[in-house]
């Protein structure tokens, strides 16, 4: 492994570790303290940790922190397929290590902040697909389009995560990230629902990335068509 890829690997490990430690940790703290954070506080925790870690590591690894994001970027030619495997390993290991540390510190409270379904399997798949679609649509916009405010990427993406958690958290946990669901599941034991959290976000992210690239290419062809659409 080259030193450059190793630095990216470490950055992805740290970023995903932080996501699970702070995000899932906030779910656990909310239970331990009798609801001191509340749903809004938990959502803010997820959004804020994503935001700050993007600003901290985006220039090193691109700040994916999510296997679905890595696969989606590769699918539109914005990331090397050869690096997808190492990124996914780093993300999943970071999430799992964070989950084990949380379990050691607080016990298996609230299933280590893991994701679970509170609506039907089909409805959950639709929710996870759409939330991940929106997330990747925003990520692709701020990361690949020179017309977007790239300096605001952390705020835009963190805000999207918090927004998705506000709506989807009570329904599916608003995972949008196989690593985020896998980490806690490795501590409490994976269930059948883990397949949904590993597969559907990848499909949603690929769809979101390609949808933005299509609108981007379309607007490039018709620069004067912002008001009415170009196709």
* CATH at residue 70: 1.20.1080.10
Burial of 132 (0-12, 13-18, 19+ CB in 10 A): buried
What is the pLDDT averaged over residues 136-150? 87
Over residues 163-190, the pLDDT tens digits come to 999 999 999 999 999 999 999 999 999 8
Cβ atoms of 201 and 195 closer than 8 Å: no
Q: What's the number of domains the chain is made of? A: 1
Q: What is the C-alpha to C-alpha distance for residues 203 and 212, in angstroms, rounded to an integer?
A: 14
Q: What is the C-alpha to C-alpha distance for residues 175 and 189, in angstroms, rounded to an integer?
A: 17
59 in any annotated domain: yes
100 in any annotated domain: yes
53 in any annotated domain: yes
Q: What is the C-alpha to C-alpha distance for residues 173 and 191, in angstroms, rounded to an integer?
A: 15
- Whole domain around residue 27: which residue ranges? 3-221
Over residues 78-103, the pLDDT tens digits come to 999 999 999 999 999 999 999 999 99
Question: Which residue in 90, 98, 198, 79 sits closest to 144, CA to CA?
Answer: 79
Which of the four pLDDT bands, split at 50, 70 and 90, describes residue 191? confident
180 in any annotated domain: yes
229 in any annotated domain: no
216 in any annotated domain: yes
Cβ atoms of 153 and 131 closer than 8 Å: no
Q: What is the C-alpha to C-alpha distance for residues 101 and 130, in angstroms, rounded to an integer?
A: 31
Please state, rounded to an integer, the average pLDDT across all residues of the chain: 92
Residue 87 DSSP symbol: H
230 in any annotated domain: no
Orientation of helix 178-188 relative to helix 81-106, angle to 10° = 40
Q: Which residues does 214 contact at the CB level (< 8 Å), separation at least 6?
A: none
The pTM (predicted TM-score) of the whole model is 0.91
DSSP labels for 17-63?
HHIIIIIIHHHHHHHHTTSSSHHHHHHHHHHHHHHHHHHHHHHHH--
DSSP labels for 65-85?
-SHHHHHHHHHTTSS-HHHHH
CA 225 from centre of chain: 32
């Amino acid at each position: 492994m080259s030193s450059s890829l190793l630095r990216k690997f470490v950055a992805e490990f740290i970023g995903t570790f932080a996501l699970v430690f702070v995000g899932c940790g906030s779910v656990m703290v909310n239970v331990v303290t009798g609801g001191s954070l509340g749903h809004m506080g938990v959502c803010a925790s997820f959004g804020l940790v994503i935001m700050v870690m993007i600003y901290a590591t985006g220039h090193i690894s691109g700040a994916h922190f999510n296997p679905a994001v890595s696969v989606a970027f590769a699918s539109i030619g914005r990331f090397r397929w050869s690096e997808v495997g190492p990124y996914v390993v780093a993300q999943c290991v970071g999430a799992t290590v964070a989950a084990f540390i949380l379990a050691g510190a607080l016990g298996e409270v609230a299933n280590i902040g893991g994701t679970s379904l509170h609506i039907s399997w089909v409805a959950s798949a639709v929710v996870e697909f759409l939330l991940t679609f929106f997330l990747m649509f925003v990520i692709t916009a701020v990361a690949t389009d020179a017309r977007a405010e790239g300096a605001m990427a952390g705020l835009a993406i963190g805000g999207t995560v918090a927004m998705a958690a506000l709506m989807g958290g009570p329904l599916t946990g608003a995972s949008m990230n196989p690593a985020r669901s896998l980490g806690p599941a490795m501590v409490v034991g994976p269930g059948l629902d883990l397949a949904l959290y590993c597969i559907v976000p990848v499909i949603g992210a690929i769809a979101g990335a390609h949808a933005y690239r299509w609108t981007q290419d379309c607007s490039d062809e018709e620069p004067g068509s912002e008001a009415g659409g170009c196709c």
